[in-house]
Amino acid sequence: MGLFDMFRKKAEPAPLLDEKKLQEVARYRSREQQLFKDLQAKALGKIDTYIEGRVYCKLQDAEIEVDLYDDVPLEYAEKCALAMNAMPEELIDAICIAARRYCLEYLDAVGGAEMNGIELRVPVNEDTPPREMLKCFDIGLLCVPVPQDPTRVGYQLSGDCDWEEEHGIEIVILDDQLVYLGEFSGVSPWEDHSEESWNAAANHGQ
């Protein structure tokens, strides 16, 4: 054995992939019609497996990533993707109004956009038309957590926004109602966030 061989690290074993998830993905990809594209099971650490793919997002008018963790049924994930692409106008307006509030509250907390070198794609103030906020953030991920009630539809959207480069934006929806909008925190749609001060979707007594 040479000197190099004595100190060479042993190759770590490849992470184990959940056979059940591999079979579920294989069955899905064999379907004639597939809402999700390029679906595959991937390792999460050494022993966990999650499912990753791509799906069209109407609000973004582009394909985004979709991640499914734990034991989320693909049929349920499809329900969430379909709901995402059939958002009522009232929900889109609520997202835009909350995004404007998130932006303004963040800028106020850090001392303004100019002082921090923040470039907004459109000027943002209290009079900015809500739908203009769609130009200031980009959705890149649909994440579907395990549903507490499979008859209801709860999911998370996240991505980048002009004003908060580090933590981005997270949009959490349950049954076509906006329950959270703010920095990315991995918020669950199945928990009450109505009293959280950092939740721009909360009323905050206004």
**Partners of 56 in the β-ladder:** 63
**What pLDDT sits at residue 15?**
64
Q: Is 13 inside a domain boundary?
A: no
Residue 14, in any domain of the structure: no
Residue 205 pLDDT = 44
Burial of 53 (0-12, 13-18, 19+ CB in 10 A): buried
Q: Do the domain assignments include residue 9?
A: no
Average pLDDT, the chain: 90
Q: What is the pLDDT of residue 182?
A: 96
How many structural domains compose the chain?
1
Assess if residue 198 is contained within a domain.
yes
- What amino acid occupies position 3? L
- Residue 56 in domain: yes
Domain for residue 3, yes or no?
no
Tokens of 7: 């100190």
**Residue 42, in any domain of the structure:** yes
Tell which wins on pLDDT, 151 or 115.
Answer: 151
142, part of any domain: yes
Q: What are the pLDDT digits (tens) for 33-64?
A: 999 999 999 988 777 889 999 999 999 999 99
The CA distances from residue 193 to 89, 93, 168, 173, in Å, are: 22, 19, 18, 11
CB 159 within 8 A of CB 57: no
Query: Residue 93: which domain range?
Result: 22-206
| pLDDT score of 206 | 46
Cβ-contact 167, 161 below 8 angstroms: no
Q: How far is it, in rounded angstroms, from Cα 77 to Cα 35?
A: 10
What is the pLDDT averaged over residues 173-190? Answer: 96
Q: What is the pTM of this model?
A: 0.88
